[in-house]
Amino acid sequence: MTKILVVDDEIGIRELLREILCDEGYDVVLAENATAARAARQAARPDLVLLDIWMPDTDGVTVLKEWSASGLLTMPVIMMSGHGTIDTAVEAIRFGALDFLEKPIALQKLLSAVKRGLQRQPSKAQSHLTLAAFTRSTPLRDLQKRLEQFSQKSRLLLLRVGPGSLAELCARSLQKPGTQWLDLTNLSQPLEVQALESARGGQAFVEDLSVLNRLQQKNLAFIIERLDKYDLHLLVASTQQADTLLKEGWEPTLVRRLFEVSLVPPSLLELKDEVPELVSQLLLHLTESGEVPHRALSTGALNALRNSPWGGGFAELKAAVKSLALGSLEESISAEEVIRFVTRASTAALALPLDLPLREARETFERLYFEHHLQLEDGNITRLAEKTGLERTHLYRKLKQLGIQVGRRAEV
């Protein structure tokens, strides 16, 4: 039976709509506010939603934006309001609403809108998560606002990152809906004008400047000169400072241009408390897009993920959630499964190739060793110095020598 979710804070309207829709043969689920609507959307998986705009906890347009950003807008949504404006209606339609009904709603208009919505082909979840999905996380909301501020004034933004980078999530959050994604790291041929024309209005991205070869550096310079012409935005991340790139032979003009506007975003090491919401949204998004079967993370699993080091950043976290969901034999993923997966993955990551020269092998081991313990200590240098038995000044010198970036924060 076709299932319709009705979200309205007025009980009289909810009951009236349920009565009308049940008489038409629909299965109706009710929610009195945005919080209940989120839970009902996930549990009932409705075929259509009637969503009120003005509610006491969160307005309906915000809920609509949240579903859109999370890849959960896979069903038609019809907005309702007793005192809406044209601007509100336009905004709702822009973010994916199918229609806008003004209260009091005429019976025939309601049924026509519902019928039209149910005839629409269901859409697939968008392929990538964005920061807009994390409405309850203050650090992630603030990060999104900062990115938007930069984007309004500059087409080029450099992120200074270290272990636990959220660079790709940041770039995906700046990508306009329906536009092209251009990853310069994956280009092995000279970038041509035709490629920029195809990507017009889209988002270009470099995950780490340090991995670019000479040809890719030339591609980067080529696209920077044409950002305005092709209405492109470019986000690049760097684990190295400008002087390091210059020593490696980068063109000084290009390096100066790249480092003109930069932002130091928080890493997963700093966002430990946000990990449960991150993985919950990731799992929900992967489920809606059909990449994994329906699974749930137990409270223990969420805590285990929260307490695990994620030096590989958002990409590593996403891969872990996807692997856990695909590998779990039960609907609920347990803490034991998370601990076993993370422990084995960490052990495998520490494996060293034995054919390296002794000096390179020692440096590789030391880098892995310090990165591992830095992650476990949430970037706290004081605790890291105590654990490794090194004086703090010596430790800073060693980390710099190994190319490991740390901030002088949270030292006590």
**Which domains, ranges and CATH numbers included, belong to the chain?**
3-119 (3.40.50.2300), 131-263 (3.40.50.300), 272-349 (1.10.8.60), 358-401 (1.10.10.60)
pLDDT by residue, tens only, the chain of 412 residues: 899 999 999 999 999 999 999 999 999 999 999 999 988 998 888 999 999 998 988 899 889 888 876 667 889 999 998 876 677 777 788 778 888 898 889 999 999 999 999 987 655 545 688 998 888 889 999 999 999 999 999 999 999 998 889 999 999 999 987 788 999 988 878 999 988 998 999 999 999 999 899 999 999 999 999 999 999 999 999 999 999 999 999 999 999 999 999 999 999 888 989 999 999 999 988 888 888 899 999 999 999 899 887 888 888 899 899 999 999 999 999 988 888 887 655 544 545 556 668 887 788 788 778 877 776 666 788 888 888 888 888 888 888 888 887 654 444 4
According to DSSP, the residues that pair with 233 across neighbouring strands are 203
What count of residues does the chain have?
412
Distance CA 278, CA 306 (A): 10
Burial class (CB in 10 A: 0-12, 13-18, 19+), 77: buried
Place of tokens 């991205």: 205
* Whole-number Cα distances in Å, 397 to 163, 362, 392, 393: 18, 16, 9, 6
57 and 34 Cβ atoms separated by less than 8 Å: yes
Place of tokens 């059909």: 290
Distance CA 226, CA 99 (A): 39
Place of tokens 């349920």: 18
**Would the pTM count as exceeding 0.75?**
no
245 and 209 Cβ atoms separated by less than 8 Å: yes
208 and 238 Cβ atoms separated by less than 8 Å: yes
**Phi, psi (deg, nearest 5) at residue 204:** -100, 155
Distance CA 245, CA 215 (A): 15
181 and 175 Cβ atoms separated by less than 8 Å: yes
Per the structure block, which two tokens stand in for 316? 């590593």
